[in-house]
Each structure stands twice: as structure tokens, then as C-alpha cells.
Amino acid sequence: MEELISRIVANVGIDEELAKKAVGIILNFLTKEGSEGTVAEMIKAIPGAQELIDAQAGEKKSGGLLGALGSLGGGLGAMGALNQLTDAGLDMDQVKGVTDEVVGMAREKAGPDVVDEVIGSIPGLGQFIS
């Protein structure tokens, strides 16, 4: 996971803490919205991914009323994830940059077929992923 975070910091220009938060949001979104078995295979192939998802889930649970309200956006699919990313402080170019880095790393670690299957299992997501 450190390799992915380092790439994001270098290529997208955000700090490490924001990079971790953004990756957690994206992975959590894929876990909730994608094909369960294939997503699990992809997550398992990326070192540290499950820990980041767990940390993201723990952060939401400990957020009190604001955390609970924020997690309502999680049910809105891609728009909910986009809202979480922009609420975290990313602009649209940064969202695209982080997403490209996550998908690139996933393709390296899990293989392009697995990642393409995950992306294909989420309606409309393919049009946003390069």
C-alpha cells in the first residue's frame, strides 16, 4: 500500500494522509458496489488494501452524527464516492488522478482481467476509468 500511496503523493500532488483517505474511499466503494468475489480477489492482491478499507470503515463509525450523515452518501454508488472524495478535499483532477493510480496498481497486482471485471460489474463506472 505504501507504494500506491507514494505514487499518488508524487503524481497527484496531495499529502499522504489525504491519499490514504482517498484510496480508502475508492476501495470501500468498489467493495460495496462491485462483484463480491472478484472484488475480494482484487483487494487480496493489493498489499494493505483490506487494512485501509477497515480503517475507513472504522473512521465512519466513530464519526458521530456527522459521520452517520456522511455515510448516507455511501449508498449513492459512484456519486456517493465522488461526494466523499470532494468532501475530503480533492478537486476533480485529483479524483481522476487518484482513481487512475488505484486502478493502475490494481491491474499490476491483480491482473487486468480481474480489474476489468470489477469495473464492468458496476454500472456506468467504465466510462470514468481509463
Q: Measured between alpha carbons, how far is 66 from 3 in angstroms, rounded to an integer?
A: 32
The pLDDT score that the predictor gives to residue 69 is: 45
26: exposed, middle or buried (Cβ count in 10 Å: 0-12, 13-18, 19+): buried
The structure's pTM equals 0.85
Q: Measured between alpha carbons, how far is 26 from 30 in angstroms, rounded to an integer?
A: 6
| pLDDT tens-digit map of 90-127 | 999 999 999 999 999 999 999 999 999 999 999 888 87
| pLDDT tens-digit map of 28-74 | 999 999 999 999 999 999 999 999 999 887 776 554 444 444 444 44
Q: What is the mean pLDDT of residues 7-28?
A: 97
HEC sequence for 95-125: HHHHHHHHHHHHHHHHCHHHHHHHHHCCCCH
Can you give the residue ranges of every domain in the chain? 2-120
- Which DSSP state fits 15? -
CA dihedral 19, 20, 22, 26 (to 10 degrees): 130
Residue 48, phi then psi, degrees to nearest 5:
85, -5
Closest CA to 25 of 68, 104, 87: 87
